[in-house]
Structures are given as C-alpha cells and as structure tokens.
Structure 1
Amino acid sequence: MDHGKLHRVIPDGCVDIIFDLRSTSFSQGAFVTGLMTSFETMSLTRNYSLFGIRFFADQVRQFIENPV
C-alpha cells in the first residue's frame, strides 16, 4: 500500500485477520479487526505489504476463541 495516502476502510460485516508481511515480529505484525459500524480512514506512515484472511461474522468463532 502506498504510504502517505489516506485509505478508507468500509464496514462489510466481516472479521479480518491482517498480517504485515514486512514486520519482524509476528506479535506486532498481525492483528484482528472486529465488526465495524462505520468507515475508518487510515493514514499509512510507511510502506506496508499486507495479507488478510476474511471471515463472515458467524464463522469466525471456529478459528478465534475471543469474542470479536
């Protein structure tokens, strides 16, 4: 993704696990996004190489123990 630009993330009823492939630490380079109720605007401060896995909200419990 291009750094320095604004990116709008639109709610879609899904839960995502997102990995930063350039991170040197797994614990800092992966995160879960829960259900969103409104759009988010992200300003990326550096270049990222992101990979995501998307789950429908009712299916994510099979893979993640914590509520999202």
Structure 2
Amino acid sequence: MPKKKEKKPFDVEHMTPEEQLKFEIAEELGLGDRVLKEGWRCLTSKESGRIGGLITKRKKQMQKESESV
C-alpha cells in the first residue's frame, strides 16, 4: 500500500520567486486563505489549472518586457 504523503506546512516567509508568483496569483483569484489553511492540495484541478495558466501568461509577459528594455 503506498504511503500517504505528509502535509508540509506552507511557509510564506521562505518562498522561492516562483512560489511567490504562484501564491500571488492564488490570492488574486481569492484562493490565498484556503492555500494558507489547507495547502495547495486543497485546490480543485480547475483552480490549479487556472493558476498554472496565469503563471505562464505572466512569465511570457515578463520575458517580453525584459527583451524590449
């Protein structure tokens, strides 16, 4: 029987830049409180997909801005 993964506490103080972007987008979508309380696994696939799509969009936008400078 596979082991159940332990729930790691969500540490707002020590996030990588990518995690910061992910959490920022989650907050914009109104999901920040849920993520803080229950972790990323509490999100539905639709919510996770929305966050992933917005991360991709934002990264492309940031890359485009850095190239134009």
TM-score between both structures, scaled by the size of structure 1: 0.24
Which protein is richer in strand relative to its size? 1
More helix by share: 2
Q: Which protein, 1 or 2, shows the higher relative CO under an 8 Å CA cutoff with sep ≥ 6?
A: 1
Q: Name the larger-Rg structure.
A: 2
Structure-2-length-normalised TM-score: 0.24
